[in-house]
């Protein structure tokens, strides 16, 4: 039944997206080209609404139930309204953040919280009152991370789909039917939209889609892996390695260049790959490959012993740093690890 719903959501999204495209043009929810953006013409950008409508149809059809299902759906409506308003009127950063906080707080107050972890050699560590702010930071952080990578045709939708496949697959292995069902519903809806969004895109997901996907992925990852060992707590971080690492390097880049955190630039992962000479489509496929490797690493990590898991983490961190320095993700002159390796080889 779950897989039938995935197919139905995929078909629904394919049918609904053209209608949303017409609506976006009619109400002026369009994205105009500028210095920071890659596209050269005005594009409709309300595509996330098609993903959301297909998602709701899937939920109504399958009716996955959980203690937190109601608050998750309420939070999704809050985030989708925020995205629609932003795609129509270009809201200020403060108002967008308010919408994200409202959605996150709805879920957290409804009971979706990381309350404790079991740390090797130490035992159970309770978060206590910190569980609420930590959970809110996680949801808002991942929501914005997905929004930040939404810079090329099909990029955010594809990376989100890979994350959803990993989350749903691991949830099935763990026997968590609710998280697996919700993940596959969103996956089908996103893949249907990707038919129109892959390069050359006919419609953008806009903040309506990026905020919704970031929100639902962060909540499902938290629901599937909360209150477990510290090793398992790292799993969603690995799964979302592409948007998280791109966001972290953006923060480092702005700190190094003495820029405000909210400053926009053209030095994100996809920008760097484009500057290296890769085509639009090649850049997206390369990042898909990186996201898939993160997903595979998460699966290996979850099945490994503690020491092998720590080795996987160490290899990932070193590989990410070397890759970031190679492509100039922080800056052309920021290459501390490569310089250290070069000096040792002399």
Note whether 177 and 220 are within 8 A (CB).
no
**Would the pLDDT of 35 be above 70?**
no
Q: 77 exposed, middle or buried (CB, 10 Å; 0-12, 13-18, 19+)?
A: middle
**Residue 122 has what pLDDT?**
60
Q: What are 191-214's pLDDT values in tens digits?
A: 999 999 999 999 999 999 999 999
* pLDDT at residue number 208: 97
Q: Of 59, 90, 56, 69, which Cα lies nearest the Cα of 208?
A: 90
Q: Return the residue matching tokens 């749903």.
A: 168
Using a cut of 0.85, tell me whether the model's pTM lies above it. yes
Over 90: is that where the pLDDT of 308 sits? no
| Count of residues in the chain | 346
Angle at the Cα of 270 from the Cα atoms of 83 and 244, rounded to 5 degrees? 65
The pLDDT assigned to 56 comes to: 97
Query: Would the pLDDT of 288 be above 80?
Result: yes
114: left (phi over 0), alpha (psi -120 to 50) or beta: beta
Strand locations in 99-256 (E)? 116-119, 123-126
Query: Collapsing DSSP states into helix, strand and coil, what is residue 119?
Result: strand
Helix (H) or strand (E) run with residue 342 in it: helix 336-344
Exposure b/e, 196-230, CB count within 10 A at least 16 = b = bbbbebebbbbbbbbbbbbbbbbbbbbbbbbbebe
pLDDT above 80: residue 40: no
pLDDT by residue (tens digit) across 251-268? Answer: 888 888 777 776 777 788
pLDDT single digits (tens) 90-118: 999 999 999 999 999 999 999 888 776 65
Which stretch of 34-38, 147-151, 212-216, 266-270 has the lowest confidence by average pLDDT?
34-38
φ, ψ at 83 (rounded to 5°): -65, -45
* Tokens representing residue 293 in the block: 């490797």
Which range scores top for mean pLDDT: 27-36, 184-193, 273-282?
184-193
Locus of tokens 């290459």:
335
Dist. CA 167–CA 218, nearest whole Å: 10
Count each helix (H run) and each strand (E run) in the chain, helices first: 14, 4
Q: How far apart are CA 325 and CA 322, in angstroms?
A: 5
Location of structure tokens 């409508």: 53
Averaged over 239-255, what is the pLDDT? 89
Question: What average pLDDT score do residues 5-23 get?
Answer: 97
Q: Is 75:219 a contact under the CB 8 Å cutoff?
A: yes
Partners of 125 in the β-ladder:
117
How far CA 314 is from CA of 119, 228, 301, 342, in Å, comes to 18, 21, 12, 20
Distance, CA of 260 to CA of 148 (rounded, Å): 16
Residue 252: both structure tokens together: 């480092």
């Amino acid at each position: 039944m779950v897989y039938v719903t995935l197919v139905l959501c995929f078909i629904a999204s394919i049918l609904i997206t053209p209608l949303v495209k017409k609506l976006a043009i009619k109400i002026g929810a369009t994205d105009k080209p500028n210095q920071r953006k890659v596209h050269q013409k005005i594009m409709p950008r309300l595509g996330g609404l098609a993903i959301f409508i297909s998602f709701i149809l899937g939920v109504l059809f399958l009716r996955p139930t959980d203690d937190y299902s109601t608050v998750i759906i309420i939070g999704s409506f809050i985030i989708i309204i925020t995205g629609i308003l932003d795609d129509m009127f270009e809201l200020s950063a403060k108002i967008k953040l308010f919408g994200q906080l409202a959605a996150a707080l709805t879920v957290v107050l409804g009971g979706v919280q990381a309350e404790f972890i079991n740390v090797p050699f130490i035992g159970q560590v309770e978060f206590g009152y910190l569980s609420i702010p930590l959970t809110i930071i996680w949801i808002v952080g991942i929501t914005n991370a997905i929004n930040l990578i939404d810079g090329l045709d099909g990029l955010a939708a594809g990376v989100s789909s890979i994350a959803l496949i990993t989350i749903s697959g691991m949830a099935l292995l763990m026997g968590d039917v609710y998280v697996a069902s919700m993940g596959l519903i969103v996956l089908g809806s996103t893949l249907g939209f990707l038919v129109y969004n892959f390069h050359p895109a006919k419609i953008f997901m806009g903040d309506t889609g990026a905020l919704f996907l970031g929100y639902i992925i962060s909540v499902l990852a938290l629901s599937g892996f909360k209150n477990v060992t510290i090793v398992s707590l790292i799993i969603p971080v690995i799964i979302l390695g592409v948007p998280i690492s791109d966001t972290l390097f953006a923060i480092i880049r702005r700190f190094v260049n003495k820029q405000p955190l909210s400053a926009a630039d053209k030095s994100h992962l996809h920008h760097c790959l484009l500057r290296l000479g890769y085509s639009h489509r090649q850049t997206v496929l390369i990042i898909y490959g990186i996201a898939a490797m993160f997903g595979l690493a998460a699966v290996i990590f979850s099945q490994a012993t503690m020491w092998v898991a720590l080795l996987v983490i160490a290899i990932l961190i070193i590989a990410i740093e070397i890759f970031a320095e190679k492509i100039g993700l922080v800056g052309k002159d920021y290459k501390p690890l490569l310089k250290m390796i070069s000096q040792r080889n002399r």
